[in-house]
Amino acid sequence: MKIVIDSANAEKIRQLNKYFPIDGVTTNPSIIVKEKKPFLPLLQEIRGVIGDEKELFVQAVADEAEEIVEEACGITKALAGPVLIKVPVTAEGIKAIKLLKEKGVRTLATTVYTPMSAFVAAKAGAEYVAPYVNRIDNLTGNGVQVVEDITRIFTAHRLPCKVLAASFKNVQQLHQVCLSGAHGITAAPELIQGLIEHPSVASDVQKFKEEWMEQYGKVSTDLLSVL
């Protein structure tokens, strides 16, 4: 199951990538504009931070299929490493996903709110779909259930498309999605950090250290030398 950072903040990505088992980075227009930097240099900076092996997801902004294809080809040409183009599941978007599949350009179908739009995107050739868990919840839907339904449909019909669940506001949603059978989660840096946060951890570690120091008086990297 993949853990992907949903951010375009190069510094936060650098820090998280140093400590956590990160598989890639997703961006979208809202995330990009927050950084107030030129588009392509920002993506190149992110690529430099995560290296050439990890997946980088970039969203197309055009409306018409042919324009989406043009944007996608430009972005994939300008960036090194594995790049996936995020395409919204409009009718033009589905057409673009089909055209991009023929050209060998990898895509992720985004703005997914229903299992059936995910199904259509997968049939069109999307490599990933990104159901918007929190946005579905906010519309009084059940985001986790939508993720679970999509994974069941893909499994039942042997569709090779992966579910990269997106739009999270808390760790509980991430926990539920991990149980749902999704292939990955993409979340803000703060939420990924939140996966390991628990007040008991720091106090447990402190207690272990105090008891150790009482007996041995020092912390050594060579444990045998203090015995």
**Which of the residues are catalytic?**
86
Q: Return the closest-CA partner of residue 51 out of 22, 12, 9.
A: 22
Given the complex with ligand G3P, which of 137 and 149 has the nearer CB atom? 137
The stretch among 44-52, 66-74, 129-137, 216-224 that binds ligand G3P (CB under 6 A) is 129-137
- The pattern of x and - marking residues 131 through 160 that bind ligand G3P according to CB under 6 A reads -x-xx-------------------------
Contact call for residue 44 and ligand G3P (CB under 6 A)? no
Strand extents, DSSP E, the chain: 2-6, 24-26, 55-59, 83-88, 107-112, 128-131, 162-165, 184-187
Instruction: Please pick, from the candidates 28, 76, 173, 176, the single residue that binds ligand G3P as defined by CB under 6 A.
Output: 28
Residues in the chain: 227
Nearest CA among 183, 85, 84, 185 for reference residue 133: 185
Give the one residue of 10, 69, 166, 185 binding ligand G3P; rule: CB under 6 A.
166
With CB under 6 A as the rule, give the number of residues binding ligand G3P.
8
What's the closest the beta carbon of residue 215 comes to ligand G3P, in angstroms?
A: 49
Minimal distance, residue 166 CB to ligand G3P, in Å: 4
Which residue number has the CB closest to ligand G3P? 167
8 A C-beta contact, residue 10 and residue 36: no
Phi, psi of 58 (to 5 degrees): -130, 135
Residues 196, 167: contact at Cβ < 8 Å? no
Residue ranges in contact with ligand G3P by CB under 6 A: 6, 26, 28, 132, 134-135, 166-167
